[in-house]
Amino acid sequence: MNSEELLKACHIENGSLVDSSFQAFLNAHYANSRIVIMVDENTHDCCLEYLITSFVQLSEAEVMLLPVGEENKVMEVCFQVWEALTEYGIGRDDLIVNLGGGVVTDMGGFIAAVYKRGLDFIHIPTTLLGMVDASIGGKTGIDLGIYKNQLGVFKEPVKIYTDAGFLGSLPDHQILNGFAEMLKHALITSADLWLELKSISRIDDMKDMSRIKTSQAIKCNAVLNDPLDKGFRKTLNFGHTVGHAIEGFYLDSLVLSHGHCVALGIIVESYMSFAKGLLSKEELEDISGTIRTWFEIPAFDELAFDALVELMKNDKKNSANKILGCALEGIGNCSWDAEYTPTEIKEGLKYLLKLN
Ligand SMILES: NC(=O)c1ccc[n+]([C@@H]2O[C@H](COP(=O)([O-])OP(=O)(O)OC[C@H]3O[C@@H](n4cnc5c(N)ncnc54)[C@H](O)[C@@H]3O)[C@@H](O)[C@H]2O)c1
């Protein structure tokens, strides 16, 4: 399938929302439905007005305000929303519109998927990370304590509308958050795309719609080939075994975005690929140099290494008590279910700290 076909198969439509099929889609399928819009405090302030003033039907929607941030992607918030949906009398034929970043789409998707055994939902991602990654592929979920995405179900949104106009109010560090996933998409599939992305020198160039589309198509290809994450789709986890552990470790203290943690995870996991003889020294330095241009290396302590390994032992991708992740077999080529031993992980973390 070409890019356009991949996006279509993942129900993605790109471009200005007012020029899209959004209104016609609502008319065709939800003319008599009640609509609930999930927002967080920031998308409430920055994105909601455009939506409800552009589409008449949405001016009457119930707006559900979720607290901002990963620390609120939890069951307690879901309970409150399910109670409110019940109070409002929301039923099986109604629709949820998730307007926000990955936290809103992950949690809003989960809330919709579980409520009354499943309500239709549309994602309108408003972060770069949401556009190129979190909104695509039907993984919904929430965190359980320090364990990321420990609870969740697979359920596809009925549509995903990507309007890069929403990125206008997104702070630069959040653009970088999404750029980390775009770099990952390049590293696992395409040396040419890697060359293109690493040559970017302005944050505005990361918001380019054709680059967003290319990245979406890479994610779609993985998802469509392996919807339930049994094989090829696992390559999307490159950087995430280590990245999720760093994110969980710092959840309460240092505020590092998901993408920032993934960027650090990419360096550590690339080092492990190098240590296994799969990646050349030049490639490793190319990857760590590019990531360091955009992402700070936090000065964490070697004492944290054991705690990080412990977190990785709980990763959902593990099997037979082994920590499993991805291996980069040259830039643009990734394999999955590679074993990471605690010693290899600690060597990779040491390499990361030395870059500081
Ligand atoms: N389901 C998946 O396949 C998948 C894939 C990758 C990541 N994720 C999840 O996505 C989450 C991270 O997503 P994220 O980085 O988008 O975080 P986020 O949803 O927390 O958004 C980041 C910040 O940007 C704000 N924001 C959003 N849109 C804005 C806008 N247009 N203008 C101004 N501010 C805006 C948010 O309020 C928040 O403060 C994590 O929970 C991660 O686990 C899921």
Which residue ranges make up each domain of the chain?
3-169, 172-354
Average per-residue pLDDT for the chain: 95
CATH top-level class for 3-169?
Answer: alpha beta
Superfamily of structural domain 172-354:
Dehydroquinate synthase-like - alpha domain (1.20.1090.10)
Query: What does the block give as tokens for 304?
Result: 């944290």
| Atom 36 of ligand 1, nearest CA residue | 42
Residue with CA nearest ligand 1 atom 42: 102
Ligand 1 site, residue 215, Cβ cutoff 6 A: no
On the question of pLDDT at 345 being above 80, the answer is: yes
- Give me ligand 1 centre to Cα 271, in Å: 27
User: Atom 11 of ligand 1 has which residue's CA nearest to it?
Assistant: 102
Give the β-pairing of 35-40 and 324-328: unpaired
Residue 315 confidence (pLDDT): 78
Rounded average pLDDT over 337-346? 95
For residue 13, the model assigns a pLDDT of 97
Q: How much of the chain, in percent, has pLDDT values that exceed 90?
A: 87
**Residue 106 Cβ < 6 Å to ligand 1:** yes
Q: Is the shortest distance between the CB of 74 and ligand 1 below 6 Å?
A: no
- Of 27-36, 48-57, 159-168, 296-305, where does mean pLDDT reach its minimum? 296-305
pLDDT band at 151 (very low <50, low <70, confident <90, very high): very high
| Closest Cα to atom 22 of ligand 1 | 101
Of 355, 176, 352, which is closest to residue 272 (Cα–Cα)?
352
Question: Are 241 and 269 spatial neighbours (Cβ–Cβ below 8 Å)?
Answer: yes
How many angstroms is it from 121 CA to the middle of ligand 1?
Answer: 17
What's the pTM value of the predicted model, to 2 decimals?
A: 0.94
What's the confidence (pLDDT) of residue 229? 87
User: Residue of the nearest CA to atom 7 in ligand 1?
Assistant: 134
Residue 41 CA to ligand 1 center (angstroms) comes to: 12
Question: What separation in Å is there between the alpha carbon of 276 and the centre of ligand 1?
Answer: 33
> According to the model, what pLDDT value does residue 27 have?
96
Task: Give all strands (DSSP E) within the chain, no chain letters.
Answer: 12-14, 35-40, 62-66, 95-100, 120-125, 142-144, 147-151, 159-162, 324-328, 334-339
